[in-house]
C-alpha cells in the first residue's frame, strides 16, 4: 500500500477521525470502509473525476480502510473502488446517508447534517399511546406520483384531530425503484430518495413532534435487498456463491426473501446493524423502532427451528441499549408467535423489546368480525383475545384489526372481507366499527392502519394511494374513531380505566353473543370503565349486566348512535342506574339496551 507521504497533496495528514462512511469536517471529508478481502481501496467521485487509484485509502487494522481528502466537500457524489485479485469493484458506501438512487452514487452529507431538534419532544407514556401505521408512498400520493414526506406532512393535522399520538412509518430505507412496501432495503442508512430523502424525513419528524405525534420507524434486519444491494459480495469474497462478508454464507443465509440474511455472528455486521438502529433514534430523533419479522432474526425457519443464538443476542444488545440511551422510546417486535420471551428483559433471558404485535388478538378478533353466521362466532375466543398478555403486562402487546400484513397478500380490509362492495353495507360498517371499539378499549397499545378510520376498502398495494375523498364521504365514521380515541386516552377525565393494567371479562354469553368487560387503573368511581359488546344481529332490551358500584353510570359511547352513520340503527341506549341486585360476581346490576353489533362504554362521574 502507498504510505501517507506518497499520497497526493490534497490529502491532509492528520489523526484518523472516528466514524464510518463519509465523515465531513471543517477541512474536507474523511472516508472509512470495511473491506477485509480487498488488496486496494480508493475513493472515486466528482472531486477526482471518478478516477480509481487517485485517492487510495490506507489499510487500518481488521480490514478497515481510511483516507482524508481535503478537496472533497458536502454534496459531492462518491463510491468506493475495490480491487480483489482480478476483480475491479465499484460499491456504494454501506454507511451512505444519502444516495442518488438505489443503483446510483453516495452523496457526502453536510457537516451539520444531523442538527439538534428545534422543538423538544417527549414520547407519550406507553399506556397512553395510539399508533397509526402509514406508508409514505401511498398515504398522500398526488397526481399519479409516489407520496413523499412533504405530502404526508399535509395530512398530519388530520391525525392530530383524530387524536393519534404516534405514527409508525413503514420502512423508509432506500429500496429498489420508487414503489415498494419498503421491506427490501438496498441501503439501510439512506432515506428513500423517492420519498424526498433525509432532509424531507427530518421535516416530517419535526412537524410531527410539533403536533405532539411520536414517530416510530419500521426497520428490516432479517434480510437485506434482495436487489440493488451493494453489500452483496461487497469486497469480492464469498463462499457457496452467497453474499460475502455482510451475509451468512451457509445454510443460515436462507430467508423467505432469498439468501440474504445478515451474518449476526460477525462483529462488524453486528455493529453495522446496531449503528443503524441508533441512527434513527440518535440522529433523526425518532421515538421508537418496529422490527420486521424478528422470527427470521432469531431462527432460520418459520417454525422457530434452527435457532440463531447470535441473532437473539443482537436483539438483546440493541434493545437494552435503546432503553439505556433513550428511556421511554419504544421497541416493537413483529414476531407473531405469542412468545413472552420477546418482551422479557435481557437480564431475564428475553429479547428486551418494549412490546410486540399480538397475533393472539388480531387473528381471533378478525375471525369473529368476518364470520357471516352469528351462531359460529365464539365469544370464548374473543374473551381469550381480550385477556391475552405477556409477562403480566397489558402494554407488552400492540393490538389491531388492520395492518399492512393483515390487509394484503390475499387478505383485505375488514369492511371488504365482510362486504366486497365498493360502498360497504350495514353489516360491514357495524362490524368494522365494533372491531374499532374493541381495539380502543381492550388492554394493549391500540394501532390503526392508514385509512381505516374512514373505511378504506379492498387491500393494501404500494401503487394504490389512499382515497381522501372517502374521508369526506365517511366523516361520521372518522368522528366515531376520534371519540373512541379520546376515551382511550382519558381526554375528558372519565375513562382512566382504559389506560390501566387491569381487565376482567366478567360476562360471556355465547348464546346471545354478548361480552362485558371491566377496565380499571386504580379502581373506583371515575376510574372504572364498563364496556359491553354485542356480536350478533338484533337489539337486546332489558338485558341485565353486573356492575362494580351503585349509582348512576353515564353512557360515554354508543357506536350505534345515529350521529356516526345513517345506516346504523340508532338504538336508544342511555345512562343507567345500578341497583343492589348482584349479578356476574358484582354487588350491583342494571338493565341495558344494546343494538346489533354495537358497543356501549359506561363510567361514573367523580
Average pLDDT, consecutive stretches of 10 residues, N- to C-terminus, the chain (606 residues):
40 78 97 98 98 97 96 98 98 98 97 84 96 98 95 98 98 97 98 97 97 98 96 98 98 96 98 98 97 97 85 98 97 96 97 98 98 97 98 98 96 95 91 97 98 96 95 95 98 97 98 98 95 96 96 96 74 90 97 96 95
pLDDT at res. 9: 42
Cα(554)–Cα(577) distance, rounded to whole angstroms?
Answer: 9
Torsion angle in degrees (nearest 10) through CA of 575, 579, 582, 584: 0
What homologous superfamily is domain 4-107 in, according to CATH?
Immunoglobulins (2.60.40.10)
β 288-291/599-603 pair status: unpaired
Which is nearest to 63 in space by CA: 84, 91, 34? 34
Catalytic residue from among 292, 402, 417, 419:
292
Contact 80, 40 (CB under 8 A): no
Catalytic residue from among 235, 334, 335, 528:
334
Which is nearest to 444 in space by CA: 368, 559, 343, 311? 343
pLDDT at res. 15: 83
Which is nearest to 42 in space by CA: 64, 25, 65, 26? 65
Torsion angle in degrees (nearest 10) through CA of 542, 548, 552, 558: -60
Q: Which residues pair with 169 in a beta bridge?
A: 134, 217
Cα(371)–Cα(363) distance, rounded to whole angstroms?
Answer: 12
Q: Where are the domains of the chain?
A: 4-107, 496-603
Cα(269)–Cα(188) distance, rounded to whole angstroms?
Answer: 12
Cα dist from 357 to 292, 333, 336, 342, 541, whole Å: 10, 6, 6, 11, 37
Tell me the helix, strand and coil percentages in the chain, rounded to 5.
Answer: 25, 25, 50
292 is catalytic: yes
DSSP 279: I
Cα(381)–Cα(404) distance, rounded to whole angstroms?
Answer: 23
pLDDT at res. 43: 98
Q: End-to-end CA distance of the chain, in Å?
A: 79
β 77-84/40-45 pair status: antiparallel
Contact 177, 127 (CB under 8 A): no
pLDDT at res. 13: 43
CATH class name, domain 496-603: mainly beta
pLDDT at res. 106: 98
Q: For residue 172, give the C-alpha cell.
A: 423508509
Same fold, 4-107 and 496-603: yes
pLDDT at res. 11: 56
DSSP 3-state of 543: strand
DSSP 408: S
Give the angle subtended at the CA of 128 by the CAs of 124 and 130, to the nearest 5°.
90
Contact 10, 69 (CB under 8 A): yes
Instruction: Give the up-direction half-sphere exposure of residue 17: CA atoms within 13 A in the CB hemisphere.
Output: 19
Instruction: Give the up-direction half-sphere exposure of residue 453: CA atoms within 13 A in the CB hemisphere.
Output: 28
Orientation angle between helical segments 359-370 and 379-387, nearest 10 degrees: 150
Cα(276)–Cα(190) distance, rounded to whole angstroms?
Answer: 10
> Does the CA dihedral 263-269-274-275 come out positive or negative?
negative
93 is catalytic: no
Cα(257)–Cα(255) distance, rounded to whole angstroms?
Answer: 5
DSSP 524: S
Which is nearest to 240 in space by CA: 226, 259, 223, 216? 259
DSSP 3-state of 505: strand
Question: Is-above-0.85 flag for pTM?
Answer: yes
Burial track 326-363 (b if 16+ CB lie within 10 A, e otherwise): beebbbbbbbbbebebbbbebeeebbbbbbbbbbbbbe
pLDDT, tens only, 9-48: 455 546 899 999 999 999 999 999 999 999 999 999 999 9
Amino acid at each position: 500500500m502507498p504510505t501517507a507521504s506518497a499520497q497526493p497533496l490534497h490529502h491532509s495528514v492528520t489523526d484518523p477521525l472516528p466514524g464510518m462512511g463519509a465523515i465531513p469536517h471543517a477541512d474536507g471529508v474523511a472516508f472509512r470502509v470495511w473491506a477485509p478481502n480487498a488488496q486496494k481501496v480508493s475513493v472515486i467521485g466528482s472531486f477526482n473525476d471518478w478516477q480509481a487509484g487517485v485517492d487510495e485509502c490506507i489499510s487500518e487494522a481488521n480490514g478497515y480502510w481510511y483516507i482524508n481528502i481535503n478537496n472533497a466537500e458536502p454534496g459531492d457524489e462518491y463510491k468506493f473502488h475495490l480491487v480483489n485479485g482480478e476483480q475491479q469493484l465499484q460499491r456504494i458506501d454501506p454507511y451512505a446517508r444519502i444516495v442518488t438512487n438505489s443503483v446510483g452514487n453516495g452523496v457526502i452529507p453536510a457537516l451539520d447534517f444531523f442538527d439538534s431538534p428545534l422543538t423538544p419532544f417527549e414520547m407519550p407514556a406507553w399506556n397512553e399511546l395510539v399508533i397509526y401505521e402509514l406508508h409514505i408512498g401511498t398515504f398522500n400520493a398526488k397526481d399519479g406520483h409516489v407520496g413523499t414526506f412533504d405530502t404526508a406532512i399535509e395530512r398530519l393535522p388530520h391525525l392530530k384531530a383524530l387524536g393519534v399520538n404516534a405514527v409508525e412509518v413503514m420502512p423508509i430505507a432506500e429500496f429498489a425503484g420508487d414503489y415498494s412496501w419498503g421491506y427490501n432495503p438496498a441501503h439501510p442508512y439512506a432515506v428513500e430518495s423517492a420519498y424526498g430523502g433525509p432532509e424531507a424525513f427530518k421535516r416530517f419528524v419535526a412537524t410531527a413532534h410539533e403536533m405532539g405525534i411520536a414517530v416510530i420507524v419500521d426497520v428490516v434486519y432479517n434480510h437485506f435487498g434482495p436487489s440493488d444491494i451493494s453489500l452483496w459480495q461487497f469486497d469480492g469474497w464469498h463462499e457457496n456463491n452467497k453474499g460475502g462478508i455482510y451475509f451468512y454464507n451457509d445454510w443460515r443465509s436462507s430467508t423467505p426473501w432469498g439468501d440474504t440474511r445478515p451474518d449476526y455472528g460477525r462483529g462488524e455486521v453486528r455493529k453495522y446493524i446496531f449503528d443503524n438502529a441508533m441512527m434513527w433514534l440518535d440522529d433523526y430523533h425518532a421515538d421508537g423502532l418496529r422490527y420486521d419479522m424478528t422470527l427470521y432474526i432469531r431462527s432460520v425457519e418459520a417454525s422457530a427451528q434452527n435457532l440463531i443464538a447470535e441473532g437473539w443476542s443482537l436483539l438483546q444488545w440493541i434493545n437494552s441499549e435503546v432503553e439505556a440511551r433513550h428511556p421511554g422510546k419504544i421497541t416493537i417486535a413483529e414476531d407473531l408467535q405469542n412468545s413472552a420471551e420477546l418482551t422479557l428483559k435481557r437480564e431475564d433471558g428475553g429479547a428486551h423489546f418494549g412490546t410486540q404485535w399480538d397475533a393472539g388478538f388480531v387473528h381471533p378478533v378478525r375471525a369473529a368480525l368476518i364470520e357471516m353466521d352469528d351462531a359460529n362466532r365464539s365469544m370464548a375466543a374473543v374473551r381469550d383475545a381480550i385477556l391475552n398478555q405477556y409477562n403480566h403486562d397489558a402494554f407488552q402487546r400492540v393490538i389491531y384489526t388492520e395492518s399492512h400484513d393483515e390487509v394484503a397478500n390475499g387478505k383485505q380490509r375488514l369492511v371488504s372481507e365482510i362486504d366486497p362492495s365498493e360502498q360497504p353495507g350495514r353489516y360491514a360498517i357495524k362490524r368494522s366499527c365494533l372491531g374499532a371499539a374493541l381495539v380502543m378499549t381492550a388492554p394493549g397499545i391500540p394501532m390503526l392502519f392508514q385509512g381505516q378510520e374512514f373505511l378504506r376498502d379492498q387491500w393494501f398495494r404500494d401503487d394504490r394511494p389512499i382515497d381522501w375523498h372517502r374521508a369526506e364521504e365517511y366523516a361520521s365514521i372518522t368522528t366515531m374513531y376520534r371519540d373512541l380515541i379520546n376515551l382511550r386516552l382519558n381526554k375528558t377525565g372519565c375513562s382512566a380505566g382504559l389506560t390501566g393494567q387491569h381487565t376482567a371479562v366478567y360476562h360471556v354469553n355465547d348464546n346471545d353473543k354478548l361480552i362485558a368487560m371491566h377496565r380499571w387503573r386504580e379502581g373506583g368511581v371515575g376510574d372504572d370503565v364498563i364496556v359491553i359488546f354485542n356480536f350478533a344481529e338484533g337489539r337486546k332490551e332489558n338485558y341485565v349486566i353486573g356492575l362494580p358500584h351503585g349509582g348512576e353510570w353515564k353512557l360515554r359511547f354508543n357506536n350505534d348512535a345515529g350521529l356516526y352513520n345513517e345506516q346504523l340503527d340508532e338504538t336508544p341506549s342511555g345512562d343507567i342506574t345500578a341497583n343492589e341486585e348482584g349479578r356476574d360476581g358484582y354487588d350491583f346490576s342494571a338493565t341495558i339496551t344494546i343494538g346489533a353489533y354495537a358497543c356501549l362504554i359506561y363510567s361514573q362521574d367523580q
